[in-house]
Amino acid sequence: WRKSCEEIMENTAEDTKGTDVAVKGEAAIKPEFLTTKEKFHEFVDSEWQGSKSEKASQNDTDEEATETCVDEPEAKKLKLDPEEKQKAWKSDNKRLRGQNKSRPHTKPTTYDEKRLQCPFGDKCHFHHDVAEYMASKPSDIGENCYLYDTFGKCAYGLSCRFAKAHTTPDFKTMEKADLVKAFEGRNLVKNNLSKDLQNRLRKRSVAFKKTRWVYKINASVKIKGTSSDKPPPVKTVGPLTDADVIKLRPCEKKQVDFQDKLYLAPLTTCGNLPFRRICKRFGADITCGEMAMCTNLLQGQQSEWALLKRHESEDLFGVQVEGCFPDTMTRCAELINNNADVDFVDINSGCPIDLVYKKGGGCGLMTRTRKFEQIVKGMNYVLDVPLTVKIRTGVQEKCSIAHKLIPEMKNWGLHGRSREQRYTKLADWDYINTCSKLASPIPLFGNGDILSYEDAMKARETGVSGIMIARGALLKPWIFTEIKESRHWDISSSERLDILKDFTNFGLEHWGSDTRGVEKTRTFMLEWLSFMCRYIPVGLLERVPQKINERPPYYIGRNYLESLMISQNVGDWIRISEMVLGPVPKNFSFLPKHKANAYK
């Protein structure tokens, strides 16, 4: 592959002589690494597929793999004049969106062709013979089981895809007594939903005392009109004391030091617990769970409560909730306050997607000021931890309203974009600077387009209390190390593969090491790779640092693995996942959630 790489580079150098002028919107790559789309894929595919004879024998599998792939994003379109823009709009008759809607959702259980045990006896269609099950089970991925080596035992037993590492010839599961004892009684992941709480939520038998008190006050004032007509705030026997009715003052709440911290933004889909563990290793100070719908939490949905889980390494952790009604948001806050271990609760009033915005949630709250105020006051009343709010500059692109809301709020996490901009425009840090002055001394975080320590330094000059990083962490999670050490890290492809291996181990620990867990880990890894492939290695850039909205031209890396990691083809992402998680199942398919609309 080295010889072919050198030949391609020489041909590319000849093709690009005299073309030193960079295309607008493209990242500046050193000329010796530039190539064309056809040559890039020829190079990547030649190493992976091997000789032509091997290709012929793999025609069937190749056809299945190509069916799971989608075309690469089109080249960046230059900015059009208003008249041309109107013509293009009419011809396309479609508005570009940031998500692949109606994509296929394959349940992880479909990858389990046969299971081992069940309570249905002779009526059961699954295996009951262990030897038969082990013979028909998909082959092991590797020789060592991360769960067995780390914790001394694997809870997935014979169904583990690394079962040979902890299974005797007579199919008994082994344990390492010293490691098991070391982890005995240790709770690595908190905020699990108990069956008792889930049943009580489904039966609507959970008492929300503080929430009732909040709305009893509001109702009595609204109906009666005078404070003298208020009913007793609580049912008492004997005299009513201040301790019965007075809530915690803000100064008595749990205090969190937000000053000068690096905050990993809550990221839907990609901001899962294994990914947050990766970012904590690289220096993230604050982590936050993925956006959770308050109605789903109140209904006791297991999948929604999974978004609140907290690993022991997350020393400063919050959860983000979304909703559009004061009563449900207040109940949700009280539920989290009583049943989860968190350092703060964040209100999502910055989500721009239509599903949330059109029902009045997300950044739709910014235009419903009265409801917004009721939500903030109600949640702040029932919480014993700080309440933060994430907003955008506004809803419309040229109509910023954040500066009107900030004086009324506490501990804001300000997003430097309006809803309409999505990710197609640069963040407005000048406006964030204005808002940070208005918010002082209240902590305010700035967020938007940070991909290097230089971007972070400029952001700090605006006077924000801390920096929130979202897409930058997805492109390169080591950005937290770069910022803290004030340097550009020319990370090698092997180091990046090691990061993916760590993510794999954390994923197997979190989702399981059986077939279902392996494929769930793979799916989330592929979602992450759809962002990570946009990273351009520092050593290939003519101008450092890389800007987040610059699209790279086609180029070849310094070795084959680096070239594979920069490919924006789904098939190549699947190849990378197979390096750490073994071959994909026959019925596997994947379509990324995001369309990389930032380049349009």
Tokens of 235: 């049912």
Instruction: Please give the backbone phi and psi of residue 400, each rounded to the nearest 5 degrees, phi first.
Output: -80, 130
- Please give the tally of structural domains in the chain: 3
Question: Which residues 6+ apart lie within 8 Å of 380 measured at CB?
Answer: 387, 410
Does 274 fall in a domain? yes
Q: What is the DSSP letter of 140?
A: P
The length of the chain is 600
- Give the C-alpha separation, 569 to 96, whole Å: 20
Gyration radius of the chain over CA positions? 27
The answer to whether 490 and 537 are in contact (CB under 8 A) is yes
Could you tell me if 458 and 539 lie in one domain? Answer: no
pLDDT tens for each residue of 517-551: 999 999 999 999 999 999 999 999 999 899 988 88
Could you tell me if 276 and 342 lie in one domain? Answer: yes
The answer to whether 404 and 361 are in contact (CB under 8 A) is no
AA identity, residue 461: E
Phi-psi region of 15 (alpha: psi -120 to 50; beta: other; left: phi over 0): alpha
Domain of 157, in residue numbers = 121-186
309-345 core/surface letters (b: 16 or more CB in 10 A; e: else): bbbeebebbbbbbbbbbbbbbbbbbbbbbebbebbbb
Could you tell me if 181 and 154 lie in one domain? Answer: yes
H-helix or E-strand spanning residue 162: none
- Give the C-alpha separation, 344 to 385, whole Å: 5
The answer to whether 332 and 345 are in contact (CB under 8 A) is no
557-596 core/surface letters (b: 16 or more CB in 10 A; e: else): beebbbbbbbbbbbbbbbbbbeebbbebbeebbbebebbb
Residues forming the active site: 351
- DSSP of 446-510, one letter per residue? EESS--SHHHHHHHHTTT-SEEEESHHHHH-TTHHHHHHHTS-----HHHHHHHHHHHHHHHHHH
The SS3 call for residue 116 is: coil
Question: Which residues 6+ apart lie within 8 Å of 203 measured at CB?
Answer: none
The residue ranges of DSSP E strands in 192-307, in sequence order, are 262-264, 287-288, 292-293
Could you tell me if 485 and 496 lie in one domain? Answer: no
Does 75 fall in a domain? no
- DSSP of 22-74, one letter per residue? PPTTB--B-GGGB--HHHHHHHHHHHHH-SHHHHHHTHHHHHHHHHT--PPPP
Does 203 fall in a domain? no
The one-digit pLDDT tens for each residue of the chain (600 residues) are 444 544 544 554 444 443 444 555 788 899 999 999 899 988 888 877 664 445 444 444 444 444 444 444 454 444 445 555 555 444 444 544 566 766 766 665 566 555 555 656 667 766 678 888 888 888 999 999 999 999 999 999 999 999 999 999 999 999 999 999 999 989 999 999 999 999 999 999 999 999 988 877 665 544 334 344 444 455 555 554 544 445 555 556 677 888 889 999 999 889 999 999 999 999 999 999 999 999 999 999 999 999 999 999 999 999 999 988 889 999 999 999 999 999 999 988 867 666 776 777 766 677 777 888 888 888 988 999 988 888 777 665 666 767 777 776 644 444 554 444 445 557 777 777 777 777 777 788 888 889 999 999 988 888 888 899 999 999 999 999 999 999 999 999 999 999 999 999 999 999 999 999 999 999 999 999 999 999 999 999 999 899 988 888 899 999 999 999 999 899 999 999 999 999 998 888 888 887 654 443
Does 95 fall in a domain? no
Does 466 fall in a domain? yes
Could you tell me if 383 and 290 lie in one domain? Answer: yes
Phi-psi region of 153 (alpha: psi -120 to 50; beta: other; left: phi over 0): beta
Closest CA to 74 of 568, 592, 575, 593: 568
* pLDDT score at 129: 80
Could you tell me if 417 and 539 lie in one domain? Answer: no
> Residue 386's domain is classified under what CATH number?
3.20.20.70
Of the residues 489, 515, 537, the one at which a domain ends: 489
Closest CA to 472 of 261, 262, 260, 258: 262
Does 42 fall in a domain? no
pLDDT tens for each residue of 555-574: 999 999 999 999 989 999 99
Could you tell me if 415 and 500 lie in one domain? Answer: no
Could you tell me if 310 and 385 lie in one domain? Answer: yes
Tokens of 561: 């693995």
Does 589 fall in a domain? yes
* pLDDT score at 398: 63
Could you tell me if 360 and 428 lie in one domain? Answer: yes
* pLDDT score at 48: 72
Phi-psi region of 21 (alpha: psi -120 to 50; beta: other; left: phi over 0): beta
Which residue in this structure is represented by tokens 């002055």?
A: 437
Does 535 fall in a domain? yes
- Give the C-alpha separation, 271 to 452, whole Å: 20
* pLDDT score at 51: 41
The residue ranges of DSSP E strands in 215-371, in sequence order, are 262-264, 287-288, 292-293, 310-311, 317-322, 344-349
- Give the C-alpha separation, 575 to 553, whole Å: 22
* pLDDT score at 256: 81
Could you tell me if 325 and 463 lie in one domain? Answer: yes
Could you tell me if 136 and 160 lie in one domain? Answer: yes
Could you tell me if 437 and 548 lie in one domain? Answer: no
Closest CA to 50 of 575, 586, 580, 588: 575
Of the residues 463, 489, 515, the one at which a domain ends: 489
Of the residues 455, 489, 523, the one at which a domain ends: 489
